[in-house]
Every structure is written in structure tokens, then in C-alpha cells.
Amino acid sequence: MIDATTIVIFGASGDLTRRKLIPALFKQWRKQRLPAPLRIVGFAFSDWDTATFRSEMDSGIKEFVEEDFRQASYDDFCDMLHFVQGGFTESDDYARLEAAISELENDTTNRLYYLATPPRFFLPIVEQMHAQGMVQESDVAWRRVIIEKPFGNDLASAQALNTSLHKLLDEQQIYRIDHYLAKETVQNIMVFRFANAIFEPLWNRNYIDHVQISAVESVDVGHRAGYYDQAGVLRDMFQNHLMQLLSLVAMEPPASFEANSVRDEKAKVLKAVRPISPEALASHTIRGQYAGYRDAPDVADGSETPTYAALELYIDNWRWRGVPFYLRSGKALQQKATEIIIQFRGTPHNMFPIPADYSIRRNVLALCIQPHEAIHLRFETKVPDTDIDMRSVEMNFEYDLAFGKDSTPEAYERLLLEALDGDPTLFTRADSIEQAWRIIDPIIQGWQTAFAPPLDEYVTGSWGPASSDLMLSQAGRHWRYACAEH
Ligand code: BG6
């Protein structure tokens, strides 16, 4: 890329900048994929100067970038870093920020603003920038704003934020982040579905019994309890990441890979998801909390915040009518595993004289997102040297084996590149965010009423509350751990 660019990071002294953003930019700089000349300006309230910023980021790179990327000196990279101290709501500080940036660039320099701040500052920052003329584009220089999550706290606040932002920015200037969309394995869902002819004809209610989408984690809430106790698992993982996975698995084939084509289909399928009615909450939702959560610092006494949830959702359209989508996510579980399971229907008729204690197992397709990136297809085979004994085996594709170890870059690397490149496909459009809230909001609200299922405690290191298993077993199904097992 050859285009003078300045990246301005709001919240530059925070964890995200040091752990993710700067290491991601550094790696892409090493791969010579960043625009040049480039300046990275940090803005935050912390009492830092450029020297502090450079040394903090230097230590971040040492901690979070693999050795072989660092070998030679990277003073040139650190020379691109600058820091301006200021408050997110202080207009004088924005005037200083603008002056400092202008000194580093000329009229044709593009700008990417990254809002790595608590959500309450998203709008004030854009308002201040707008007032200083910092988001005004010209024929030769663009201005883009990346907004972190959570985007809104419910449907009303997300709508209000979108409305306010649209008064200050064009939708095409806004890049709402969902880092799941930039995971290689998540992007591959579209390639798998739409660059292969053999799966899509089966991808519907005629052949698929149900779909499972799991994003389970072994970590507990750790030092984020203050935020998490307000948010809970539905806001933290479902409204964004799980809804995005659901839309990629269930959407209709877009006509092209152009951003709006893809985003139209994603919004459309979310729109078809049936909201769970208050009466259905007890049978279609599970809420859990791990034992010991309430003792964590910053968690309110007697907190009812769920750290685990499972949902049974339905998509009311021609393709998916009647097919359950089971979604689950939780903290402090046995392992980290993000996976999508497509459970196919059984054969219509059994012609084999199989033993009474054996039943033909159904085909399962597992898309393993992380940590073991892979795709597995389970099918039945005849055991050699038997009359007609059968066994299930798997066809396995492992990313590491096919493309080499560590072939998958961190999500933030891809997202920053795409935003610099002006491609919003991997960012969430206003309508998708609102559709996702439309699905999640009634559950969050319903859980405050007498319709709520009980808050089930589960043991740390388990697979979550027993009620979650029960929800599936009552329908003759069970949660699969296809990727965790490998
Ligand atoms: C974040 C959530 O968005 O995603 C965290 O706020 C969660 O609670 C994280 O741990 C999981 O991301 P990943 O990439 O580790 O699966």
C-alpha cells in the first residue's frame, strides 16, 4: 500500500492497544503490508508522553509477537509511534491532538481512527472529532472510524448510537468490529459453503436435523468482572460473536463477495430468527453461573449475572423452518472450543442386518473454529473382515497440516488491513447489529421476570449446567464436542 496514512488510537494506554493492536500492526508492518508513510498516534488520559508510549508498546511487542518476527531491530517501527495526552471529552485536547497530527502529515494523508475505549466514549469522541473537522473527508483523503464492542447495551441504545453516528459520519466511514469475523476459520465458512458444489444442496431442512454453535471458554471473568457483571454472557458473546456465526452458517448465498451483498444476506437471515417468547423462555433458554463467581472482586453481592447460556433458536424461512439452532457459550468451562456442528438426518431406511445394540450413526460435519482449526466429516464404514459390522470414521482436514503451523494470523491483523483497504465486509453493518439485539433483548429482559428459567450453578471446569444437556436430551439430541476431542 502506498498512501500516507495516520492511525489514531483512542485509549492507547489500555490493554487492547498493547496486547492486540500494536502487535497486529507490527506484524503487518514486518510483512510490508501497511501503507507508507505511516504514523501511529496514541491518545489517552494517562500521564504518558511519546517516550512512555514507545517503551510500553515495545514491551507489548516483546510479549505478544513471536520471536522470529522480531529478530532484527525494530526501531523504525517505534519511530512511527507518537502520543498525545488528553481527555476524551475535552475539546481543547482535541484541538491539541489535531494540531499534533497535522504536523506529522499533509493534506493527502488518510486517517484511520480506532476507538479502543469504553463504550460510553464512542459518541463523545466522534462528536469532538466532528467539531474539530477531523472526520471530514476530501477528494484525496479518507477518514474512517473503527468502533470496538459492545455496540449498545440493548436494541434501543444501539439504535440511538447508530442514529447519532449517522448524523456525523457516513455509514461507509464506520467500521464496527466483531473480531470473530476476522478469524480465518470463520471466513472459511463462506468459502466452504459457496466455493464447493457438494455441501450447499444438503444445507437445509431436508437433510439437516439441527445445528450447534458453541463458543465455550475455560477462562473465568478474571480482571474484567466489573464490566462483565453488568454485561453477562448474552451481551458479551451472543449478541455479537454467536449471532455473526449463526448468520454465516444460515444465510442464503450472496450474489457476489462485495461487502453489501454479503451484509444484506447476513442481515436478512438474522431478521428471520424468531424471537423467543416469554412463555418459551423456560424451555428454550438455559442460564448458568459458575460456582465462585459471586466471590470475585467487582461482582455485586448475590449477582444474578449469567456466565453461561444456551439457546434453542428457529429461523422462520423456507430453508430452515423447523430446524433447531442450539447456541451455547460460557466461562470457566472444561476447555476452550469454538465450533459449529451440522448434524444431518439419518438414513430413511436401514437395509443392513446390524446387531441390535448398534444403530447407524448420523453424519456430522464439524467446523472447528478454534483452538484446533479443522473440519471433520463423520460417516459410517464397514469394519473389514466382518460380516457387516459398521463403525463411524472421520475425514479430517487440519489447517496446520494443509497450510503449515501458525498459518492463521490474529484476527486484529486482518481487520486493521481491511479497514485500511476500505473493505467493510468483515465489519458489522448497522442493521445486523440491530437485528442481533432484536433477538437477544427479549431474552435479557425476560430473564428479569417470572418467566425466566432458574439460574443454575455449575462447577468450574465442567461443561456447564446439567439443564443444558437436558434441553437437548429431551429432544433426543446431545451436545457434541467434535473439535475439543481432536
Ligand atoms: C470477547 C469477550 O469479545 O471475546 C470475551 O468480551 C471473550 O469475554 C472473547 O473471552 C473470546 O474471544 P476469543 O477470540 O478468545 O474466542
Q: 158 in a domain, yes or no?
A: no
Please enumerate, as own/partner, the contacts of 351-355 that have beta carbons within 8 Å and a separation of 24 or more. 352/388, 352/390, 353/387, 353/388, 354/388, 354/389, 354/390, 355/389
Per-residue pLDDT of 34-90, as tens digits, reads: 999 999 999 999 999 999 999 999 999 989 988 766 666 678 899 999 999 999 999
Give me the mean pLDDT over the 139-150 stretch.
Answer: 95
The three cell numbers of residue 113 are 481512527
- Please check whether residue 437 is in contact with residue 155, taking contact to mean a CB–CB distance below 8 angstroms: yes
Q: Are residues 62 and 187 in the same domain?
A: no
In a domain, 157, yes or no: no
Per-residue model confidence as pLDDT tens digits over 428-449? 999 999 999 999 999 999 999 9
**Of 123, 148, 173, which residue constitutes the final position of a domain?**
148
To which H or E segment does residue 375 belong? Answer: strand 374-382
Closest atom of ligand 1 relative to the 221 alpha carbon: 8
The per-residue pLDDT for range 123-137, each reduced to its tens digit, is 999 999 999 999 999
Gap from CA of 76 to ligand 1 centroid (Å) = 32
Which residue out of 178, 179, 185, 340 has the highest number of ligand 1 atoms within 8 Å of its CB and is therefore the one to mutate? 179
Summarize the confidence of residues 104-108 as an average pLDDT.
90
Give yes or no: residues 143 and 185 share one domain: no
Per-residue pLDDT for 485 more than 60? no
Residue 452 has pLDDT above 80, yes or no: yes
Question: Which atom of ligand 1 is closest in space to residue 241's alpha carbon?
Answer: 3
Q: With pLDDT > 90 as the criterion, what percentage of the chain qualifies?
A: 86
Span 368-397, pLDDT tens digits: 999 989 999 999 999 999 888 899 999 999
Of the residues 241, 284, 372, 376, which is catalytic? Answer: 241
Rounded to the nearest integer, the mean pLDDT of the chain is 94
User: Model pTM?
Assistant: 0.93
- Residue 108's CATH number: 3.40.50.720
Whether 480 is covered by a domain: the verdict is no
- pLDDT number for residue 71: 60
Domain match, 226 and 343 both = yes
Band of pLDDT at residue 359, cut at 50, 70 and 90: confident
pLDDT of residue 338: 97
485 within a domain of the structure (yes/no): no
Amino acid sitting at position 128:
Q
344 CA → ligand 1 middle, Å: 29
451 and 322 belong to one structural domain:
yes
Q: Are residues 105 and 192 in the same domain?
A: no
Decide if pLDDT at 189 tops 90.
yes
- Average pLDDT (313-320) is 98
Q: Provide the total of helices (H) and of strands (E) in the chain, helices listed first.
A: 17, 15
Residue 113 within a domain: yes
DSSP 201: G
For residue 219, which atom of ligand 1 is closest to its CA? 10
What share of the chain has pLDDT > 70, as a percent? 98
236 lines ligand 1 (CB under 6 A): yes
Our mutation pick for probing the ligand 1 site, out of 176, 234, 241, counting the most ligand atoms within 8 A of Cβ, is 241
Residue 479 lies in a domain: no
- What is the mean predicted confidence (pLDDT) over 293-307? 95
148, 172, 189 — which closes off a domain? 148
390 and 329 housed in the same domain: yes
Residue 318 forms part of a structural domain: yes
Does a structural domain hold residue 172?
Answer: no
CA distance 339 to 333: 15
Per DSSP, the three-state class of 437 is: helix
- Residue of 177, 185, 236, 240 best suited for mutating to test ligand 1, as the one with most atoms within 8 Å of CB: 236
Give me the torsion for CA of 362, 368, 369, 370, rounded to 10°.
140
Q: Which three cell numbers stand for residue 342?
A: 451440522
Is the domain of 19 the same as that of 70? yes
Tell me the mean pLDDT in the region 87-97. Answer: 97
- Residue 167 above 90 pLDDT? yes
Categorize the per-residue pLDDT at 1 as very low, low, confident or very high, splitting at 50, 70 and 90.
Answer: low
434 CB near ligand 1 (under 6 Å): no
Secondary structure of residue 48 in the 3-state scheme: coil
CATH number of the domain to which 329 belongs: 3.30.360.10
Query: Residue 474 is placed in which grid cell?
Result: 429431551
Instruction: With cut-offs at 50, 70 and 90, classify the pLDDT of residue 23.
Output: very high
Decide: 217 in ligand 1 pocket, CB within 6 A.
yes
Q: Looking at residue 262, what is its pLDDT?
A: 96
Contact (Cβ atoms closer than 8 angstroms) between residue 5 and residue 112: yes
- 190/359 Cα distance (integer angstroms): 33
Catalytic, 210? Answer no
Q: Domains in the chain: how many in total?
A: 2
CA atoms lying within 13 Å on the CB side of residue 262: 20
Among candidate residues 124, 148, 172, the one where a domain is terminated = 148
Residue 223 has pLDDT above 90, yes or no: no
Residue whose CA is at the smallest distance from ligand 1 atom 15: 217
On the question of pLDDT at 332 being above 80, the answer is yes
Task: Confirm or reject: Cβ of 178 under 6 Å from ligand 1.
Answer: no
Q: Which domain holds residue 322?
A: 181-473
**Cβ-contact 109, 36 below 8 angstroms:** no
Any atom of ligand 1 within 6 Å of the Cβ of 148: no
Radius of gyration of the chain (CA): 24
Cis, peptide link before residue 124, omega less than 30° from 0: no
